[in-house]
Amino acid sequence: MRKSLTPTALPIMALVVLTACSSNSPSNQPSDAKAATPASKPLTAAAALTGITAAVPSAKKSGVVTADNDPNHLLGRPNQYTSKVTFEDTRIPGDQVSGTEKGDVERGGAIEVFGSPADAKARATYIQAITKSMPALAEYDYVHGTILVRVSHYLTPKQAAGYKSAADMLG
């Protein structure tokens, strides 16, 4: 004997199936809270500096670059940095940087954050190419993902390496 479903039974069966597959079902819930949290936001230059100053206490924020005060006119432009901060390093004597302006990399450095790791790498490559023939403008550049940490050449290689280590620990 063969049983067939009546036309009124089909909607009821569909409702039962949909209810069983609902996302409110306990079996569909993440097993741990971490899986339920949204993806983390991209790191900003200010947040990166907070992480770096924890490892390099001689670094002190000296400014936040905005579209209005960006001397390079790159903030927010295609393939350029999306946020930037500058910092001073208290290990650099003031007489070595006399004549420079607040926010200049020579006083400590800058952190630039990009939309992609390729953009950060391209910026570092560009800076190195420009400064290669001008030792007075040389700097240490460390790329970590989308972050470019630019550090003053007035710091010793060992001092500058502290920034690289700190950048490597950023998320």
pTM over 0.85: no
**Mean pLDDT, to the nearest integer, of 104-115?**
97
Confidence of residue 135 (pLDDT cuts 50, 70, 90): confident
Query: In whole angstroms, how far apart are CA 74 and each of 71, 101, 109?
Result: 8, 19, 17
pLDDT digits (tens, 9 = 90+) for 60-101: 999 999 999 999 999 999 999 999 999 999 999 999 999 999
Q: What is the tens place of the pLDDT at every residue in 25-59?
A: 344 444 443 333 345 566 899 999 999 999 999 99
Q: Which residue has the tokens 């790329």?
A: 143
Give the end-to-end CA distance of the chain in Å, rounded to a whole number: 65
Locate 39 and state its tokens: 């993806």
d(CA 132, CA 73): 22
* pLDDT of the residue at 41: 63
Nearest-angstrom CA–CA distance, 52 and 60: 10
* Nearest C-alpha neighbor of 126 from the set 56, 79, 66: 79
